[in-house]
Amino acid sequence: MSFASTILFIADSHLPYNAWAETLIDGLGYQLLTASCEADASDLLNDAQVDLVLADVDSRNCDVVSLLTSLRFKHPDLLRLLLVGEEYGIRLSEMLSRTAAFQYLTKPLQPAQASLVFKHALEARELARRHRRLAREFKIGENARCFDAKPAAYAKDKVSHFERLVYASEPMAELCSLAREAARTHLPILIEGETGTGKELLARAVHFHSSRSASPLMIQNCGGIRDELLHSELFGHRRGSFTGAISDRLGLFRAADGGTVFLDEISEISPSFQVSLLRFLQEGEVKPLGSDQTKIADVRIITASNKSLKQLVKNGQFREDLYFRLRGFELEVPPLRARPADIPVLTEFFVGKHGALLGNRIRGVCEDVIDIFKAYHFPGNVRELENEVRRMIALAKDGEYLTRRHLSPALAKLKASSAQAIVVVSQDEARTLKQIVEMLEAKIVGQVLQKHRWNQSKAARELGLSRVGLANKIKRYALDEERATR
Ligand SMILES: Nc1ncnc2c1ncn2[C@@H]1O[C@H](COP(=O)(O)OP(=O)(O)OP(=O)(O)O)[C@@H](O)[C@H]1O
Ligand SMILES: [Mg+2]
């Protein structure tokens, strides 16, 4: 059992442990990963399936106790072990209880002792898992996804991370790969997507993945704010330049020099502010209000909008030249309903996050809850899913599973319709896969159209289709309102 296990060792220097590491890898078949700072450790924990972490509490580049404490919630299944010097005495018990460590080892590290402790730790975890699985089978039957045991249903949704973005779907994988490329350049980036899809999280991820990450990321929401104030926030002002300007203000562009400025709700800026922003993008110069001097600011601009800027340009509400400048890279975050593969992993992530915050240990989520989430159209996207999960956790008792009865009323009355449709269609005999898929598509499109009383804009939005795309499907499957309601 220990043979495929992965161990992460956090210490300033791994040199004194080289011989021991060799025994672990060659002799005992463990996979050993090493990190000497917090950032490396976090990256490895996110990217690799680590089973056990051993951390030297004297690491200067890593606050080991805080890191291990946070891992209790982020990676509850990970075994945590501390490596300590002899001088810790009474503080040791506090460190052990904060980190909920499985065991501690003392320096100098005794290879034989360490290997034995690892073996026992991994065995104990495996036994605990089996025990939980059996206890669950007796109590709740097959219909539950249990996050702590990672059953097969989860293994197939491989979770990926782009900084704090969590995803498993193909559209998000494509988007994040484009965003990583964009991060390597200094070009402006325009992020579009419905409300709550994760635009701000994506902007942050790009900044922290870029060569500008050591400089600041400044965020400004441009919605519902007067021109003068927005100008002063971004370009700064001189004292007395307008009523209320009681001291000089640097402005975000100069405060973020070398870094990134994220402008949210960019569609809301006035025509005159559009001109100021265009000038800044062309010249890279900042002129504070009330000053006649210009200063240089080297920042990358990331903008976000939940309205289509292209459409606003067409309607004459947004300058075309500014639009072209802003979209060095265009990133479109798909609505949640267009990426159902993200629903289980996001649910799992939010259960972990809010279970820990609310101090409520949730054992898992029933499969039919996930099916209902997949059937729901989530107009508020990931934010709405997060709020729903948080609400469910608040209603559940400690140690319970989240089930239908914890759902909010709007969701509780939904049926997991798509899952049922699949069963109905696949019962038809002698059909090719293509025919079955088409029948299923026709059925779902028909159902969604009916649900929205044939309002095609709403139905297209729910299905993640353009209006033209939906019209084509209506034509192709000869769907019509009369026939559908008959
Ligand atoms: N892929 C994701 N992984 C984890 N959390 C996410 C993800 N997408 C969104 N969230 C969470 O959902 C909430 C909304 O995300 P965010 O603020 O980035 O959305 P937005 O698109 O900027 O929304 P708005 O248009 O309303 O400003 C946040 O709490 C964020 O942490
Ligand atoms: Mg936002």
What is the average per-residue pLDDT within 96-103?
Answer: 90
Atom of ligand 1 nearest to the CA of 333: 21
Q: Which pLDDT band, with edges at 50, 70 and 90, does 176 fall under?
A: very high
Does residue 141 fall inside a structural domain?
no
Pairwise pLDDT comparison (91 vs 258), residue with the higher score:
258
Instruction: Decide whether any atom of ligand 1 lies within 6 Å of the 199 Cβ.
Output: yes
SS (H, E, C) the chain: CHHHCEEEEECCCCHHHHHHHHHHHHHCCCEEEEECCHHHHHHHHHHCCCCEEEEECCCCCCCHHHHHHHHHHHCCCCEEEEEECHHHCCHHHHHHHHHCCCEEEECCCCHHHHHHHHHHHHHHHHHHHHHHHHHHHHHHCCCEECHHHCCHHHHCCCCEEECCEEECCHHHHHHHHHHHHHHHCCCCEEEECCCCCCHHHHHHHHHHCCCCCCCCEEEEECCCCCHHHHHHHHHCECCCCCCCCCCCECCHHHHCCCCEEEEECHHHCCHHHHHHHHHHHHHCEECCECCCCCEECCCEEEEEECCCHHHHHHCCCCCHHHHHHHCCEEEECCCHHHCCCHHHHHHHHHHHHHHHHHCCCCCEEEHHHHHHHHHCCCCCHHHHHHHHHHHHHHHCCCCCEECHHHCCHHHHCCCCHHHHHHHHHHCCCCCCHHHHHHHHHHHHHHHHHHHCCCCHHHHHHHHCCCHHHHHHHHHHCCCCHHHHHC
* pLDDT for residue 338 is more than 50: yes
* pLDDT for residue 323 is more than 90: yes
Does residue 269 fall inside a structural domain?
yes
* Residue nearest atom 9 of ligand 1, based on CA coordinates: 198
The span from the CA of 346 to the CA of 166, in Å, is 7
**pLDDT value for 194:** 96
Task: Select from 46, 160, 172, 201 the residue to mutate for testing ligand 1; criterion: most ligand atoms less than 8 Å from CB.
Answer: 201
Backbone angles phi, psi at 55, to 5 degrees: -125, 130
What is the average per-residue pLDDT within 99-122?
Answer: 90
* In contact, 352 and 76? CB cutoff 8 Å: yes
- For residue 393, report the distance from its CA to the centre of ligand 1, in Å: 19
* pLDDT for residue 481 is more than 70: no
Atom of ligand 1 nearest to the CA of 193: 21
Does residue 33 fall inside a structural domain?
yes
What is the average per-residue pLDDT within 455-478?
Answer: 87
Instruction: Decide whether any atom of ligand 1 lies within 6 Å of the 196 Cβ.
Output: yes
What is the average per-residue pLDDT within 461-486?
Answer: 78
Does residue 253 fall inside a structural domain?
yes
What is the average per-residue pLDDT within 99-106?
Answer: 91
Q: How many domains does the chain have?
A: 4
The span from the CA of 415 to the CA of 401, in Å, is 19
Q: What residues pair up with 300 in beta bridges, in sequence order?
A: 260
* Residue nearest atom 10 of ligand 1, based on CA coordinates: 198
Q: Do the bridges between strand 300-305 and strand 295-296 make them parallel or antiparallel, or are there none, so unpaired?
A: unpaired
Does residue 137 fall inside a structural domain?
no
Are 202 and 102 members of one domain? no
Instruction: Decide whether any atom of ligand 1 lies within 6 Å of the 195 Cβ.
Output: yes
CATH code: domain of residue 272: 3.40.50.300
Q: Which pLDDT band, with edges at 50, 70 and 90, does 426 fall under?
A: very low
The residue type found at 40 is D
Atom of ligand 1 nearest to the CA of 342: 1
Which residues keep their CB under 5 angstroms from ion ligand 2?
200, 264
- For residue 428, report the distance from its CA to the centre of ligand 1, in Å: 41
Q: What residues pair up with 56 in beta bridges, in sequence order?
A: 83
CATH code: domain of residue 84: 3.40.50.2300
pLDDT in tens, 280-312: 999 999 988 888 888 899 999 999 999 999 999
* pLDDT for residue 418 is more than 50: no
Are 308 and 379 members of one domain? no
What is the average per-residue pLDDT within 198-212?
Answer: 95
The span from the CA of 18 to the CA of 173, in Å, is 37
**pLDDT value for 14:** 82
Are 244 and 313 members of one domain? yes
Q: Cα angle at 99 between 93 and 102, to 5 degrees?
A: 80
412, 436, 470 — which closes off a domain?
A: 412
Are 176 and 293 members of one domain? yes
Does residue 136 fall inside a structural domain?
no
Ligand with the closest atom to the CA of 200 = 1
Instruction: Decide whether any atom of ligand 1 lies within 6 Å of the 194 Cβ.
Output: no
Q: Which pLDDT band, with edges at 50, 70 and 90, does 408 fall under?
A: very high
Quick one: which of 240, 255, 260 has its CA closest to 187? Answer: 260
Give percent above pLDDT 70 in the chain. Answer: 89
- Which tokens sit at 478? 């000869």
**pLDDT value for 329:** 96
Instruction: Decide whether any atom of ligand 1 lies within 6 Å of the 382 Cβ.
Output: yes
**Residue span of the structural domain in which 46 resides:** 2-129
Q: Which pLDDT band, with edges at 50, 70 and 90, does 141 fall under?
A: very low
395, 412, 429 — which closes off a domain?
A: 412
Does residue 307 fall inside a structural domain?
yes
* pLDDT for residue 247 is more than 80: no
What is the average per-residue pLDDT within 269-276?
Answer: 96
* Residue nearest atom 18 of ligand 1, based on CA coordinates: 198
The span from the CA of 78 to the CA of 480, in Å, is 55
301, 332, 363 — which closes off a domain?
A: 332
What is the average per-residue pLDDT within 20-26?
Answer: 81
Pairwise pLDDT comparison (396 vs 246), residue with the higher score:
396
**pLDDT value for 150:** 40
Mean pLDDT of the chain: 85
Q: Which pLDDT band, with edges at 50, 70 and 90, does 221 fall under?
A: very high
Instruction: Decide whether any atom of ligand 1 lies within 6 Å of the 198 Cβ.
Output: yes
Are 350 and 268 members of one domain? no
Instruction: Decide whether any atom of ligand 1 lies within 6 Å of the 270 Cβ.
Output: no
* Residue nearest atom 16 of ligand 1, based on CA coordinates: 198
* Residue nearest atom 13 of ligand 1, based on CA coordinates: 383
Are 242 and 380 members of one domain? no
Task: Select from 172, 197, 346, 357 the residue to mutate for testing ligand 1; criterion: most ligand atoms less than 8 Å from CB.
Answer: 197
CATH code: domain of residue 373: 1.10.8.60
* pLDDT for residue 324 is more than 90: yes
- For residue 328, report the distance from its CA to the centre of ligand 1, in Å: 23
Atom of ligand 1 nearest to the CA of 166: 3
Q: Which pLDDT band, with edges at 50, 70 and 90, does 135 fall under?
A: low
Atom of ligand 1 nearest to the CA of 264: 27
Give percent above pLDDT 90 in the chain. Answer: 49
Pairwise pLDDT comparison (141 vs 440), residue with the higher score:
440
Instruction: Decide whether any atom of ligand 1 lies within 6 Å of the 197 Cβ.
Output: yes
Are 82 and 170 members of one domain? no
What is the pTM assigned to this prediction? 0.61
* pLDDT for residue 15 is more than 70: yes
* Dihedral angle computed from the Cα positions of residues 231, 233, 238 and 240, in that order, rounded to the nearest 10 degrees: 90
- For residue 460, report the distance from its CA to the centre of ligand 2, in Å: 23
The span from the CA of 318 to the CA of 192, in Å, is 15
Window from 132-146, 297-311, 414-428 with minimum mean pLDDT: 414-428
* In contact, 173 and 274? CB cutoff 8 Å: no
* pLDDT for residue 475 is more than 60: yes
- For residue 381, report the distance from its CA to the centre of ligand 2, in Å: 12
Ligand with the closest atom to the CA of 354 = 1
* pLDDT for residue 195 is more than 70: yes
Does residue 154 fall inside a structural domain?
no
CATH code: domain of residue 471: 1.10.10
Task: Select from 46, 169, 383 the residue to mutate for testing ligand 1; criterion: most ligand atoms less than 8 Å from CB.
Answer: 383
